[in-house]
Amino acid sequence: MLRDKQSLNQTRRSFFKTFATAGIATATAPYQTAKAGFRARVDYPSTRLANLRDLRINQPIDINYPDAESPGVLVRLGRKLSNGVGPDQDIVAYSTLCPHEGFRLIYDATDKTLNCPGHYSRFDTELSGQQIFGMCNQSLPQFSLYLDDKGDIFADGADELIYGRTSNVLEG
Amino acid sequence: MTYKRGIDQLPIPPKDARVQNVTCDFCIVGCGYKAYSWDLSKQGGTAPGENAFGVDLSKQQETESPTWYQPSMYNMVQQDGRPVHLIVKPDQDCVVNTGLNSVRGGRLAETRYSEQAGTMVDRLTHPLIWRYSQHMPSSWDDALSLVADVTRRVIEEWGEDGIIVSAFDHGGAAGGYENTWGTGKLYFESMKIKNIRIHNRPAYNSEVHATRDMGMGELNNSYKDAELADTIFCVGANPLENQTNYFLAHWVPNLRGTTLVEKKRRFPAEAHAPAKVIIVDPRRTVSVNACEYEAGKENVLHLAIKPGTDLVLMNALLTEVVAQGWHARDFIAQSTSGFDTAMQANRTSVKDAAEITGLAPADIQKAAKWIAEPKAANQPRRTMMCYEKGLIWGNDNYRTNAALANLCFATQNVGREGTGCVRLGGHQEGYVRPPGDHVGRPASYVDQLLIKGEGRIHHIWATDHFKSTLNAEEFRRVYRRRTNLVKEAMDSVSYGDHAAQVDAVMNAIRQGGLFSVDVDILPTPIGQACHVVLPAATAGEMNLTSMNGERRLRLSEKYMDPPGEALPDCLIAARLANHLEQSFQGAGDTETAKRFQGFDWQREEDAFMDGYHKHADGGKYVTYERLRAMGTNGVQEPCIGFDGARLIGTERLYTDGRFGTDDTKAHFKTAQWRGLQAAGREEQRKQFRFLINNGRKNMIWQSAFYDLRVPFVRERFPLPPIEMNPNDMALIGVAPGDLVEIHNDVGSTQAMVYPMENAREGECFMLFSSPLGQVGNIVSAHTNELVLPNYKNVWADIRRIGRAPQADGISFKALEYPTEI
Ligand code: SF4
Ligand code: FES
């Protein structure tokens, strides 16, 4: 269901960086002792998702990020959020692959949650994708966003591992 | 703020990664996992030929992919003294969980000891001894000779009844056949300890004495039966949160109707439909919600019973089933006894039951129908009956358990496919011990003995009374006072003078002191009061065998080193026995010394062969090697043979209509209603405003011993939640996330307010056995006649203390899946 066979031209080939030991340690504490060459964080593409004009409050639009095979939503929630963007700081974006087993999440506009029909996991879009109930040991990957002066909304990162990948940016 | 790991890639196991069988440490379901480990300096690649899964990992994986592992399933640990990468992920080929992980099992790797990753770094690594006024690291020899010498002196002066033991008796981590045998051999064979209790209750007793007395063991079917049942009758249990993958992998397919093909294949002459489910629970749990979503509301009957009245409901169902002529006449005549007497004593009209239970008469009749109305002439329904702590720790344990078993026998819902009358269970099981008949029945009420000043030395194995007893405030107060007496005495003599130390301890004991020894994996509240703390290994750090809720026995393999010098419990018991032998030898008592022989085990496998292999039913067929070959599917107990390649097990019990009584008949029992049985509860109910029901939450395993240390869980539950109806919250002026005190005539405790739209007014639900707010503080000491506590039905008032830490970062939105979207 999630194999949307589009081209992968949005995926930027990852850039293999070698961190100095200190760099690795500060970037991601659990992996301090990984061998040199182990990248602490992957490099993300900057991808245009939509324009401000496209967004209606509480009506999510489907997006794909960081590539065509990774579905998500972009939503304007109508309330200022600590990591929201836009003039009202109320725009956020999330992966919609459930981190448990990859079922597609469904938006419930009544309480602004993303819900998994697989095994009932629920995530709060107003709180960085915090899992309210469920089977996952992580909250929902949230995409970091920025706006340009034309009102175009771009994603340029993710804060958790996306379902079904060993790396958020595929190496294919 | 919502916790994020910031991890966006994970190491890949190379083609030659080591792969081992793991059974989840946590709940009774015992899901199958695989541990992948490989050298820290190596990495696999994304190409199919470069990784252990043989799959192209450069591509997005499909839904339900067998190769997906979350960051919580990864860690870095020591293996044979070398650092390795570790992935512990669910096993697709295990019939128990078919590749599913629950939120608890999904963090098996993350809850391992890792100095590199900083996880569980406060695991106990070396023995600790109280000296120079604090717990000091020491050697095994030093710690065990002190314990052995004080134990010997206590035996010499007061006999073995001067020793109090608190010990696990279950399977999974902090238990398992190796460890129950190790402790069992020490306390029931070398010694005959009478004053012993189990990890979550104050005595050494069964939670289901009644069904056993009636001839039926409590784990008598297969998980498969939940797929084949016409009706599932679930009493006082919440399987989505507590037996998660049993529910997801075996109940849900039947509720959805996807097992219809299999039902038709197995029983071609019968009518079939997707399962109906009846849930008896005062709360509307997420299990009710999930059942409605999967089966449709019309196939789910939630009986939101008045707490503590289950017995009346069971008796009314029995009466109704018999009145309708839906009972199993032939089976009753051939395979049971006591039917008429029980019917006479237990007869309860639907009308009376409706009044006492608060249920609608029509719903009780509907339940009777769903349970027992034949599908057609000579086509009895197949109803699986299951229950857990709502029944066990609810009101009047023995009789209520009997009333359910009566209903099961009357409808012959045991021994047939698609049936069973089973506990859903908490921990896995792993009990093999020498006979414990000397403990007696009723067993000693150990926690009261300690409060009364009895007992001179206390051996504690992975148990924490401070979190899981009743009348807990008084218990802690007395316990600290008594153990402090000994600490002060120890502080008054220099440690290096061993004889003087032991004398000082003995003097303090004579004055009411208690010497206390704690074996555990992590520091615990009760451990702080102890004089010696011994570090145990846990699952993954030793080979461990247990069985799950369908008696499925597996070997969960050792894939990493224990922290520091920690040892498996069975070997700690053995080394303690060795030191006791020496201590008695040294004191010239060679007779007693001999009783501690037979503990020359070097590995946990030695304990398995001495215990399970020699003493368990069917154990003679089972070895580590044979079990390892059976993988994560293992074999269902009892094992009845070995065909040269595979162990042969038993899918379900009592298929021949012969039960575990002297006359092999199932015995009906009288079970009359006597109101709230625990003394004082009826008065408490009138005096205080809120029922404080309690139990587990999906996210938290047991007493939260790991979860307190897991940021992902801690952010959701910095304190134990208490679920309340918003109207009740308004009534006492509290908001979501407020820190409240729950107080009554017994004591007081704390929790964080969690709003619950569909909680009934006046009925709250609190997390059980949290170290940061113990329900036991407000549970009175009264038990039933067999010393089973009624933890569930307590009443208290609630007042605001302030705001819970971190509460503002918590989402308090509804837990239920929105079935309308
Ligand atoms: S359902 Fe129980 S056994 Fe299975 S993964 Fe979860 S906690 Fe472990
Ligand atoms: S796939 Fe979402 S909860 Fe299982």
* Ligand 2 within 6 A of CB of A134: yes
Domain span including residue A26: 1-38
Report the CATH number at residue A78.
2.102.10.10
Alpha-carbon span B680 to B731, nearest angstrom: 26
Q: How far is the CA of B701 from the centre of ligand 1 (A)?
A: 9
User: Model confidence over A49-102: pLDDT tens digits?
Assistant: 999 999 999 999 999 999 999 999 999 999 999 999 999 999 999 999 999 999
Query: Does residue A55 lie within any of the structural domains?
Result: yes
- For A102, nearest residue in chain B (alpha carbons): B63
Put simply, whether A16 touches B (Cβ < 8 Å) is no
In angstroms, the Cα distances linking B689 to B228, B759, B761, B763, B776 are 43, 15, 10, 9, 18
Is residue A163 in some structural domain?
no
Q: What percent of chain B has pLDDT over 90?
A: 99
- By CB atoms closer than 10 A (0-12, 13-18, 19+), residue B49 is exposed
What amino acid occupies position B406?
Answer: N
B22 C-alpha vs ligand 2 centroid, how far in Å?
22
Residues B656/B373, Cβ–Cβ less than 8 Å? no
Query: Measuring CA to CA, which residue among A91, A82, A89, A141 is closest to residue A114?
Result: A141
Q: Is A165 on the interface with B (CB under 8 A)?
A: yes
Phi, psi of B607 (to 5 degrees): -65, -35
Nearest to B402 by CA among B656, B667, B665: B667
Q: Where are the beta strands (DSSP E) in chain A?
A: 47-51, 61-64, 71-76, 91-95, 106-108, 113-115, 122-124, 130-133, 142-147, 152-158
Using pLDDT thresholds of 50, 70 and 90, give the confidence band for residue B165: very high
Residue of A nearest to B809 (CA): A127
Angle at B676 between CA B673 and CA B679, to 5 degrees: 125
Please report the pLDDT score of residue A20 as a whole number: 28
Same domain, A29 and A71: no
Q: Is the pLDDT of residue B581 over 70?
A: yes
The confidence band for B552, taking pLDDT boundaries of 50, 70 and 90, is very high
Q: Report the number of distinct structural domains present in chain A.
A: 2
Q: What mean pLDDT is predicted for residues B269-284?
A: 97
Q: Do residues A63 and A136 both lie within one domain?
A: yes
Would you say residue B628 has pLDDT above 70?
Answer: yes
Question: Do A102 and B68 lie within an 8 Å CB cutoff?
Answer: yes
Mean pLDDT of B757-782: 96
Structure-block tokens of residue B86: 């570790």
Same domain, A94 and A33: no
Report how far residue B138's alpha carbon sits from residue B417's, in angstroms, rounded to the nearest whole number: 55
Considering only CA atoms, which of B168, B151, B186 is closest in space to residue B610? B186
Which residue has tokens 């069973």? B420
| A58 shares a domain with A14 | no
Measured distance CA(B170)–CA(B546) in Å, rounded:
8
Torsion angles phi and psi, residue B228, rounded to 5: -105, -10
Is the minimum distance from the CB of A103 to ligand 2 under 6 angstroms? yes
The whole-angstrom separation of Cα B357 and Cα B495 is: 62
| Judgement on whether residues A11 and A25 belong to the same structural domain of the protein | yes
Residue A171 located in a structural domain: no
Residue A9: the pLDDT is 28
Cβ-defined contact of B101 to A135 (cutoff 8 Å):
yes
In a domain, A172, yes or no: no
The ligand 2 atom nearest the CA atom of A101: 1
Which residues of A are part of the catalytic machinery?
Answer: 100, 119
Cβ distance B9 to A115 less than 8 Å, yes or no, reads: no
Tell me if B107 and A165 make a contact (CB, 8 A cut-off). no
Identify whether A117 is part of a domain: yes
Residues A102 and A17 in one domain: no
Q: Which atom of ligand 1 is nearest to the CA of B428?
A: 3
CA of A120, closest atom in ligand 2: 3
With CA atoms as reference, the chain B residue closest to A116 would be: B817
Chain A interface, best mutation among B715, B811, B816, B821, by max A CB count within 10 A: B811
Considering the domain architecture, whether residues A100 and A18 belong to the same structural domain is answered as no
Q: Are B774 and B467 in contact (CB under 8 A)?
A: yes
Question: Which pTM was predicted?
Answer: 0.95
**Pair A53, A16 in one domain:** no
Return the pLDDT at A40.
Answer: 59
Regarding whether A63 and A7 lie in a shared domain, the answer is no
> Which residue has 């009202």 as its token pair?
A88
Structure tokens at B654: 């009592």
CB within 8 Å of chain B, chain A residues 41-80: 41-42, 69-70
Instruction: Return the beta strands (E) in B64-161 as ranges.
Output: 74-79, 82-90, 128-131, 134-137
Q: How far apart are CA B701 and CA B707, in angstroms?
A: 7
Ligand 2, atom nearest to A117 Cα: 2
- List of chain A residues whose C-beta atoms are within 8 Å of the C-beta of residue B76: 30-31, 33
Same domain? For A27 and A85 the reply is no
Query: pLDDT by residue (tens digit) across B393-446?
Result: 999 999 999 999 999 999 999 999 999 999 999 999 999 999 999 999 999 999
State which residue of chain B sits closest to A117, comparing Cα positions.
B817
Q: Which of A6, A165, A167, A168 to mutate to test the interface with B (most CBs of B within 10 A)?
A: A165
Q: State the Cα–Cα distance between residues B133 and B492, nearest whole angstrom.
A: 10
Give contacts of A 116-135 with B, CB under 8 A: 117-120, 122, 124, 126-135
Distance from the A119 Cα atom to the nearest Cα atom in chain B, whole angstroms: 7
User: In this complex, do A126 and B118 lie within 8 Å of one another by their Cβ atoms?
Assistant: no
Considering the domain boundaries, does residue A16 fall inside one? yes
Residues A109, A92 share a domain:
yes
* Same domain membership, residue A97 and residue A76: yes
Residues of A in contact with B70 (CB under 8 A): 99, 136-138, 161
Which residue's alpha carbon is nearest to atom 3 within ligand 2? Answer: A119
